[in-house]
Amino acid sequence: MTLVIENVTKTYQNFTAVDQLNLTIPKGESFGLIGQNGAGKTTTFRMILDLQETTQGTISWDGQPMNAVNRDLLGYLPEERGIFPTMPVEEQLYFFGELRGKKRKELKPEVEYWIKRFELEDKRKEKAEKLSKGNQQKVQLIASFIHKPDFLILDEPFSGLDPVNKDLLKEAIHHLKEQGTTILFSSHQMDHVEELCDHLCLLKRGKSLFSGSLLDLKKSYGKIKLAIRSPHSFEELTTLAGVAHAVQKKDHILLTLKDESYAQSIFDYVSAGKYIERFSLDYLTLDEIFKLKVGEPDGEVLAARETTV
User: pLDDT at position 299, please?
Assistant: 39
User: What is the fold of 3-213?
Assistant: Rossmann fold (3.40.50)
Domain regions of the chain by residue span = 3-213, 219-306
Q: Tell me the CB-side half-sphere exposure of residue 273, using CA atoms within 13 A.
A: 0
> Cα dihedral sign for 121, 178, 157, 44?
negative
Question: DSSP of 69-88, one letter per residue?
Answer: S-GGGEEEE-SS----TTSB
Residues with Cβ within 8 Å of 112's Cβ and at least 6 positions away in sequence, in order, are: none
Read off the pLDDT of residues 191-214 as tens digits, 9 standing for 90 and up.
999 999 989 999 999 999 999 999
Question: Please, are residues 290 and 299 in contact by the beta-carbon 8 Å criterion?
Answer: no
Nearest to 266 by CA among 234, 240, 233: 240
Read off the pLDDT of residues 149-175 as tens digits, 9 standing for 90 and up.
999 999 999 987 899 999 999 999 999
CATH number belonging to domain 219-306? 3.30.70
pLDDT per residue, tens digit, the chain (309 aa), is 899 999 999 999 889 999 999 999 999 999 999 999 899 999 999 999 999 999 999 999 999 999 899 989 999 999 877 789 999 999 999 999 999 999 999 999 999 999 999 999 999 999 999 999 889 999 999 999 999 999 999 999 998 789 999 999 999 999 999 999 999 999 999 999 999 998 999 999 999 999 999 999 999 999 999 999 999 999 999 999 999 999 999 999 999 999 999 999 999 999 998 899 999 999 999 999 998 888 655 434 334 333 332
Residues with Cβ within 8 Å of 273's Cβ and at least 6 positions away in sequence, in order, are: none
Read off the pLDDT of residues 58-70 as tens digits, 9 standing for 90 and up.
999 999 999 899 9
User: pLDDT at position 296, please?
Assistant: 56
User: pLDDT at position 159, please?
Assistant: 85
Q: Tell me the CB-side half-sphere exposure of residue 286, using CA atoms within 13 A.
A: 25
User: pLDDT at position 224, please?
Assistant: 95
